Amino acid sequence: MVIMGLGHAGLPLARRACEAGLSVTGYDISPPVVRDLNAGVSHIDDVPAAALADMRSAGFTATDDDAVLATADTVVISVPTGLDERGDPDLGPVRDASRAVAAHLRPGVLVVLESTSHPGTTEETVRPLLEKGSGLRVGTDFHLAFSPERIDPGNRRFGIRDTPRVIGGCTPLCAKYAVAFFSRFVDAVVVARGTREAEMAKLVENIHRYVNIALVDELAAYCGHAGIDVWDVLDCAATKPFGYTPFRPGPGVGGHCIPVDPRYLAARAEQAGHPLHLLAAARDVHTRTPHAVVDRTAALLARDHVPVDGARVVLLGVTYKADVADTRHSPAEPIARELRRRGASVSFHDPHVTSFAVDGVAVPAVETLAALSGADVAVLLQGHRCYDPAALTAAGCRVLDTRGRLTSPGPAREEPEALP
């Protein structure tokens, strides 16, 4: 098999397939990525050097030569589906990958798209490119399916093997081939009615989080205005054993999926004349949240009569998720940008990140938390395990806690004493 795209989804998939005994080759258009992987250097947290060494021992190699596609009996397209400079969906990598596959496609090959996109991408974008470029026909000469990645970086409980695989085939036979393939290295597969249903299912998973994170962020803003402890509210609500899914406020959404994937459905729905108003409202909240963090930072500085212009601000945790090294779409970026715009001197501390830049301008790093004593305010953006609440409380400067690490011990579980 050949996996196209050796990023946060493709490389872990290659690892799991190697563990199951499959012959795997990775294809990526980035020569540095290919060079490093073949040298035993991984750029993905979920595939550490030891795991990569095991993969290479099992026969895994990486290449930037698309001629390797001619040798594959199965091709998995796992390329990025991001946004363009206007914030609109960008299917360019998917189209490029499809054209490359088409140029080398042989009868009997299974092609699987696992890149997240709007419903219809497999049938309306990938299929025509494969058929036109190869002269072959889906369901007759080759097989095509959609099976979305469900990677959760840093998750120590669930991985590719024990996370069910959703599969949607262009034809029932396509689905059968895809089921046979994935059943070799995942514990369970779920067959959708078709590719559109599988594509939509992936979007629903991330939209569920997108909307609910916006909800708790907006509730947190209201609770702050009303003098209500939002962390205590959410801790109490989370004790309900049914009918409630816990979500926590923060400085804004980040990562490749949550801020990006809903835009694919929203754009598709708008084109169809059926705008999704709840998604638009959630997007508005997510756009405003980082600016609200800066406003709260300014209010905290004002308590000490320190103007934002010239204030020394340290951002604690600039990754989008706790205990990972990924800064993609991190809310730290718009927060740092706005603080700089208001004249603040911004630096950062993050044990998982060696460098962090905003608009091409590096943000200075603070090596140790001891340096906080020289700051006017520290803003806790990410709840890395290394950030001990007691140490931050004694940091020597004010701390704005956007994650509830310093103020949320959780509700008491004991029964109250009986009244006399």
Strands (E), 148-290: 165-169, 189-191
Please give the structure tokens belonging to residue 205. 């998973």
> Could you tell me if 98 and 130 are in contact, meaning their C-beta atoms sit under 8 angstroms apart?
yes
> Could you tell me if 61 and 38 are in contact, meaning their C-beta atoms sit under 8 angstroms apart?
yes
Specify the amino acid at residue 183.
S
Which entry of 174, 236, 257, 397 is annotated as an active-site residue? 257
- Cα–Cα distance between 36 and 54 in angstroms, integer? 15
Does 18 participate in catalysis according to the annotation?
Answer: no
Exposure letters 343-353 (e unless 16+ CB within 10 A, then b): ebebbbbbebb
Q: Which of 222, 398, 225 is nearest to 303 (CA)?
A: 398
CA 31 to chain centre: 24
Query: Could you identify the residue written with the tokens 């000490």?
Result: 304
Query: Could you identify the residue written with the tokens 């490389």?
Result: 11
Q: How many alpha carbons lie under 13 Å from residue 64 in its C-beta half-sphere?
A: 10
CB-neighbour burial class of residue 310 (10 A; exposed 0-12, middle 13-18, buried 19+): exposed
- Cα–Cα distance between 146 and 190 in angstroms, integer? 12
- Cα–Cα distance between 143 and 126 in angstroms, integer? 12
Using CA atoms, how far residue 349 sits from 302, 366, 367, in Å, is: 23, 5, 7
Q: How many alpha carbons lie under 13 Å from residue 37 in its C-beta half-sphere?
A: 29
Q: How many alpha carbons lie under 13 Å from residue 53 in its C-beta half-sphere?
A: 3
User: Whole-angstrom distance between the N-terminal and C-terminal Cα of the chain?
Assistant: 73
Could you count the other beta carbons within 10 Å of the beta carbon of residue 287? 13
**Alpha helices, DSSP H, located in 71-194:** 92-104, 121, 127-134, 172-182
| Residues with a known catalytic role | 257
